[in-house]
Structure 1
Amino acid sequence: MRITVIEHEADAGLGYLESWLGLECDVVRPYLGETVPERAADGLIVLGGAADAWDDEHSPWHPATRDLLRSAVDEGTPTLAICLGAQLMTMACGGVVGRGGNGLEVGLREVRPLPAAASDPVLSGAGTAVAIQYHQDAMTRLPEGAVPLMTGDQYPNQAYRLGEAAWAVQFHPEATPEIFTAWTSAAGLDGAEDFNAEVKAAEDRLVATWRPVAEAFAEVVRTTAPA
């Protein structure tokens, strides 16, 4: 079984997921000129990136990525959309994404489960947890039929499920401390050293929370794929 992965930039890769999923991943890098496929393999992951989800001029592969996400949701292909990926999925399926009114959400932040998370096949075990955040755009209206699963203080729409097998998360379960440090360094972020140290100190907690989530998603891929 294989997972199609859309990577938007070189420093926003699979991170922890590469070893946690236990499945082969076919990474597509459209920023290097690779073509976004019309259909995913047995599963789909769309990663994050610094671009705005609506900025098709500077990221000309976004329309094809939104089409891919829409097809995956419609066809029940197990999908995990992360940060920018979550915003692209939201737009693709009729929701709204815009510049967040509460500023940049960055660093280690608490996310909390909503009632529907208790029975969710992927996020049921996460509980109240810390997650790595790095975004200013926000999912301001979820697609019709979306089931909200997690929330937070700065931005309420932190995770949702759409259909039977598509998940969108605003935070970064895949990001290692090293990946996060690369992001803050590239941005010249004020307070970067403190943010980086906080994330590094929480590494064991991050792994303990998000590795089971990744493994649960991989299990959905295994059980959903045709025999």
Structure 2
Amino acid sequence: MTVVNTSITVIQQDAAFGPGAASDLLVGARLVRVYDGDPVPSVDDVAGGLVVLGGGVGVHEQDAAAWLAPVRDLMAGALAAEAPVLAIGLGAQLLAQAGGGHVQVDAPPGLECGPVQLFWRRGALEDPVLAAVVSETERTMLAVACHRDAVAELPPTAQWLASSELYPFQAFRIGSGLGLQFQPEATAELVERWTADLDEDEREAQRAAFAESREGIEQHGVAILTAFVESVARDTMPA
């Protein structure tokens, strides 16, 4: 399904972390490649909706990625303005920081990369985006994650929505902002890029694991992304 939505701004923080499965849903969206020198937009420019994708740098690596603090501040401003925000991976970690949470570098559980089982908390049943994939009888879901750093403490106002076996804070909401540590935009091509630094045996294991569960992972991921885009379209529809 292709959804034309010109009101959404997408912040891409890494060449290897593109829109992936969300590409057809974001036709017409403004793509800002901050890793390639595009300036971070103002809050007024993202009032119609903001998607912040992941990346391979850490949230504290300001010397390597000067855009990190401006993107974090942009999300803080978007939350204050009650603009819809979807933050994924590194984006979710920046969202947690924007709300006053804490991100731990090289968190003790270690690398979480590949298909993981998510466990939805009750609040996800009523979330305006996640309710698309969560029900009383569907309280778990396979998704792809790829990270070493992690949110160690949620912001005081955040609602905790999902966990995995290794990491507790896989999904959370702060007002108009939804943070996802996992990657709903995952495709086979993106998984190849994200696992490029692993040794060949580990990469092959990741390929096989994703291929085995690909249909369900992509179906649920696209459902989440679609629900966000549709919620933005409803919010921006003229009265």
TM-score greater than 0.5 by the shorter chain: yes
What SS class does the counterpart of residue 204 from structure 2 fall into?
helix
- Report the equivalent of 1:129: 141
- Cα shift readout 1:167-199 (whole Å, capped 9, x = no counterpart): 000000001011111221245465110111111
* C-alpha distance in structure 2 between counterparts of 1:27 and 1:189, whole Å: 33
Paired residue for 1:113, among 109, 117, 120?
A: 120
Q: Percent identity?
A: 35
Equivalent residue, structure 1, for 2:32: 28
The equivalent residue for 1:62 is 68
* Residues 6-25 of structure 1: pairs in structure 2 closer than 5 A: 6-19=11-24, 21=25, 24-25=28-29
Contact 2:99–2:174 (Cα < 8 Å) also in 1: no
Give per-residue Cα distances to partners, 1:112-165, cap 9 Å, x unaligned.
1101011111112323111101001010111121111111110000001111x2
Aligned equivalents of 2:26, 2:35: Cα separation in 1: 26
In 2, are the aligned partners of 1:23 and 1:218 still within 8 Å (CA)?
Answer: no
Q: Please list, as runs of the form range in 1=range in 2, the aligned pairs for 1:71-150 lying within 5 A after superposition.
A: 71-99=77-105, 100-127=107-134, 128-150=140-162
**Secondary structure class of the residue paired with 1:37:** coil
Q: What is aligned with 2:8?
A: 3
Question: Which residue is equivalent to 2:186?
Answer: 175
Shift, 1:220, TM fit:
1.4
Range that drifts further, 23-32 or 173-182: 23-32
Q: Does the aligned pair in 1 maintain the 2:132–2:227 contact within 8 Å? A: no
Question: How many aligned residue pairs are there?
Answer: 225
Structure 1 unaligned regions, length at least 5 = none
Contact 2:186 2:221 in 1 (8 A): no
**Higher mean C-alpha displacement, 168-177 vs 35-44:** 35-44
Task: Give the structure-1-normalised TM-score.
Answer: 0.94
Work out whether residues 54 and 90 of structure 2, in 8 Å CA contact, stay in contact via their aligned partners in 1. Answer: yes
- Which residue of the partner structure matches residue 153 of structure 1? 165
TM-score normalised over the length of structure 2 = 0.90
Aligned with 1:106: secondary structure? Answer: strand
Structure 2 segments unaligned to the other structure (5+ residues): 1-5, 135-139
**Quick one: distance in 2 between partners of 1:104 and 1:120?**
28
- Corresponding residue SS for 2:56: coil
Q: Indicate conservation of the 8 Å contact 1:161/1:168, yes or no.
A: yes
In structure 2, C-alpha distance between the alignment counterparts of 1:180 and 1:23, rounded to whole Å: 22
> Following the alignment from structure 2 to structure 1, what is the Cα–Cα distance between the partners of residues 74 and 12?
13
Shift of 1:24: 2.3
Per the alignment, in what secondary structure is the counterpart of residue 71 of structure 2? helix
Question: SS of 1:18's equivalent?
Answer: helix
Q: 1:22 to 1:33 in 2, by over 3 A?
A: closer
Distance 1:95 1:11 in 2: 26
Kept in 1: contact 2:12–2:33 (CA 8 A): yes
Report the counterpart of residue 195 of structure 2 in structure 1. Answer: 184
